Structure 1
């Protein structure tokens, strides 16, 4: 019985594993196919690779030990490595607010544009017939007595069209035309409400209404059909244009209104008109498409005066801000930690709670409170300074004062962390050292600089480097307190005196009319290199200490 039960349990476990593996493969395969079908090829490749590696690791006995670390490695690949590699890829393109689409989507958009010809414009209405069938009625805008009515047609909603509902053979298909017949009046049935037109809009948009004089009408709004013609036509090789054979590539478009040819300019990422010698002339035709630009974005950072100057200025300020923040928070935290550890101080527990309290309050609340306190007109700080000294500093408009304000607020936010670290490390310093120093005649200040500071700096060094890296990318503080203001006047991209590199990158990507994601990605890649260098330095120092 025991052997039989064991064998049955083993077979059950095997079937469970097989079913789990099959479900995983199905889910992964569906995700990959869905991403590929939607045009997200890069995401599809990454998902396919990770799912394949996961299946290999969890099914191969030789990789048993890797099963425990694979989820962490996969998470790092998805949330760190892949975004960084994708950012680097974007930095080599012209991806921006004006160049968002692929060439194919840009071409499809241009081909979907229409313009109204001389065939006229008609108000239309739907009138219910038998079953799900309707009569389409047209009434000329220029001559209301001119009325046309269709035969009965079956119109489907988008959901029904997607489901592939079968229509009777005597009814028009989605892409077929509907013949319109002259009439003396509109159908007797009342016109359908606009809600019905909206539901059937996709089907109506695909139908051409054919008038008796060979005028073809297309839907032009929710209550109108007009004689429309495509603005652009895609040419094939050897196409005939104005009696001349044009040898075109597959992406050449003909402007039906002007008779001019357009071709994609891969240097600018826009369609442009070309002359007889195939040289690009005239203005760019939006929308633009994404193309590779090589090292152009990186060269812009180095050579464009409107970017180079602000970038260097913001880089220097970022280093100063991160270094000063570490120094100020460390100094204040270490001094306060030493004071609350002083044996002669009464009520030490109360002081500890009060001094650590800023660490418990969410940072965004503290930042917004300080923003109100530093308000130039109504803030309590300026009101106090005005009543005492007759001055009202311009904290948000003067570059120097704005930077000082940022450092003050960040010191308030960061000192509790340093104080907690120092309080813990102070416990590890032997009391004998202070007693021996006191016997030599050294006072509390001397002990602080000769014993406390040297013994705390050694274990704190890796943490200080990590704090420097954090403040190097302290985006929330700048966004909530100053938003980078005051602005740098000579900058050609959004840039401010209190911007850090990370907020500067954000403003380039999401502010202004250009929204230059390629340039922002290039700067983000440079930031990654800088912060990565700090991480390597931190690892080396940590190894040196061990």
Structure 2
């Protein structure tokens, strides 16, 4: 009976937890759907359903330990990757973020002033307010008390008044703070006409700026110009006498599928192709040099730290590991100050010793050299720690035998130490290469990609890596943030890094065998 009671309690607790998780997840799905986030809602619903099926059935108990990892990978890796690839085939940008229906509705909501304007004043009435409009003959039109607390449209009926309401006039600060609520007011005048807030000091008659025709065109009421939806560009545009598209556009635009256009731009547009290829080569060179220097410096220092004749090894070891203990962004910002051309300590020292003041941030070669120096400083402690641990695993008998043969320390290093360290270090070197391939923080904090390249369609610099180049296209584009092009380049980066990783793994496997 005791075992049966325990089993029942355990089973009841499991179902209670599952029920609570289901209710919470279901509530989140509903919220996502209401907000229009349909993809997130569908993905959450699918993950929830699969999770419930796994945790509710005893036959699927083996999957309970694997599913959280698979769900996390699907939610945080595969889903963002799929969204990025999908965006790469659209014109999604700062000017083309909305759907066609939403962009059309934004344009239809635009108003223009049609009729006389009325200066308005607000008077406090307890916790409410009274709206007063001033007519041309200095008479007043006064509303009934209303509240700013409501978030919906309000209609106020105004009537003539000989005297202003009691109380002091509200300051402009009150109008500014409640501007959104005032924009939802519609004031009905005694003659039946309606006015709305048109500025911080006036109410005026307004009308919709555009009328929507059955064929989807918009007609400007003020000018009579007809705007046509162009599904190639994602904008409402006008047509000339020959029925060809003009360059006039209405913002905001809407998102449309452009196929392989963004990828073709990378391959054919010289303003993008030239910097892209140059930045790709520099990214590979930067990653390879960084890996080589960090491993070389870390390995040499690890060997020195194992030298028994060296006094104070513990102090040296502590000092050499300190760069690894300091947060990277702090070290990068400190180096940015040290390399300052005018008052940086490095240039002050070089000027006093050799009369030199290198332009670290404006000369492309010096800027790249500075990046490699700083990145080597940040990366060597990790490699040194790894090598110190690997050196402990090398048998002392090998060095004793080489000493009997009269080998020098350099021969010991290249014939014994280096071959035995390279094999276990190779996977870590591949991981380090992949990390530096996307080392965004270093570029952003130290050089921000500069110095800039001239004659490019997109913002690009001599020290940009592919990842920082993509970021600049997405968020610093002069003609608008081009997320579609940035997503296309991000997709290419994914393919390039994946291809390089596969080649490195194959090469590593061949060396190990």
| Superposition TM-score, scaled by structure 2 size | 0.92
**Aligned residue number for residue 241 of structure 1:** none
The answer to whether 1:208 aligns with 2:186 is yes
Question: In 2 relative to 1, CA 153–384 (structure 1 residues): closer, same or farther, beyond 3 Å?
Answer: closer
CA displacement 1:156-213 (0-9 Å, x = unmatched): 6225x5xxxxxxxxxxxx565x554444443456556667767876665444333355
* Partner residue in 2 for 1:100: 97
Q: Give distance in 1, aligned partners of 2:440 and 2:79.
A: 22
Cα drift, residue 154 of structure 1: 5.0
Contact 2:128 2:148 in 1 (8 A): no
Aligned equivalents of 1:476, 1:133: Cα separation in 2: 52
SS at match of 1:158: coil
Contact 1:462 1:541 in 2 (8 A): no
CA distance 1:14–1:341, change in 2 (3 Å): closer
| 1:308 to 1:345, Cα distance in 2 relative to 1, 3 A | same
After TM superposition, list the pairs within 5 Å mapping 1:82-481 onto structure 2. 82-117=79-114, 119-127=115-123, 136-140=131-135, 143-150=136-143, 152=144, 154-155=146-147, 157-158=149-150, 161=152, 174=153, 178-188=156-166, 190-191=168-169, 205-213=183-191, 215-235=193-213, 237=214, 248-249=215-216, 252-274=217-239, 279-281=244-246, 283-481=248-446
Deviates more, 1:181-190 or 1:31-40: 181-190
Structure 2 gaps of 5+ residues are none
In 2: Cα distance, 1:200 partner to 1:486 partner: 46
Query: In structure 2, what is the Cα distance between the partners aligned to 1:410 and 1:59?
Result: 50
CA 1:502 to 1:225, structure 2 compared with 1: closer, same or farther past 3 Å?
A: same
Instruction: Tell me which residue corresponds to 1:17.
Output: 14
SS in 2 for 1:229: strand
User: Which shifted more, 102-111 or 47-56?
Assistant: 102-111
Give yes or no for contact 1:157–1:201 (8 Å, CA) kept in 2: no
Tell me which of 509, 522, 528 is aligned to 2:494. Answer: 528
Aligned to 1:170: none
Aligned residue pairs total 511
Alpha-carbon distance between aligned partners in 2 of 1:222 and 1:470, rounded to the nearest angstrom: 53
Tell me the CA shift for residue 66 of structure 1: 0.8
Find 1:68's aligned residue among 58, 65, 86: 65
CA contact (8 A) 1:158 1:202 kept: no
What value does the CA root-mean-square deviation take over the aligned residues? 2.6
Q: Contact 2:113 / 2:198 at 8 angstroms: preserved in 1?
A: no
Q: Deviations over 1:62-109 (max 9, x none)?
A: 210111121111111111111111111111111112222222222222
Does the CA contact (< 8 Å) of 1:32 and 1:47 recur in 2?
yes
The separation in 1 between residues aligned to 2:166 and 2:356, in whole angstroms, is: 81
In structure 1, what is the Cα distance between the partners aligned to 2:343 and 2:174? 56
Distance (whole Å) between structure 2 residues aligned to residue 146 and residue 278 of structure 1: 53
Distance 1:71 1:363 in 2: 31
Could you tell me which residue of structure 1 aligns to residue 41 of structure 2? 44
- Cα drift, residue 436 of structure 1: 2.3
Q: Which of 50, 58, 69 matches 1:53?
A: 50
- Match of 1:254, SS? strand
- 3-state SS of the aligned residue for 2:113? strand
CA offsets per residue over residues 425-462 of structure 1, 9 Å max, x none?
11222222222222333211111111111121111111
Relative to structure 1, the CA distance from residue 69 to residue 477 in structure 2 (aligned partners, 3 Å threshold; closer, same or farther) is: same
Going from structure 1 to structure 2, the CA distance change for 1:410 and 1:213 (only over 3 Å counts) comes to same
Question: Is the alpha carbon distance of 1:483 and 1:133 closer, same or farther for their aligned partners in structure 2, counting shifts above 3 Å?
Answer: closer
**TM score, norm. by length of structure 1:** 0.87
Greater mean deviation of Cα atoms: 311-320 or 528-537: 528-537
Partner of 1:166: none
Q: Comparing 435-444 with 530-539, which one deviates more in the overlay?
A: 530-539
Secondary structure at the aligned position of 2:252 is classed as: coil
What is the deviation of 1:137?
2.5
What per-residue deviation string (whole Å, max 9, x for no partner) do you get for residues 248-302 of structure 1? 13xx322111223222211111111346886534501111221111111111111
Mapped to 1, the partners of 2:207 and 2:173 lie a distance apart of 27
Rounded Cα–Cα distance in structure 2 between residues aligned with 1:348 and 1:450: 25
1:504 Cα shift?
0.9
Distance 1:443 1:200 in 2: 83
Distance 1:263 1:337, change over 3 A: same
**CA–CA distance in 1 between the matches of 2:367 and 2:130?**
69
The offset of 1:10, in angstroms, is 3.9
Shift in Å, 1:44: 1.2
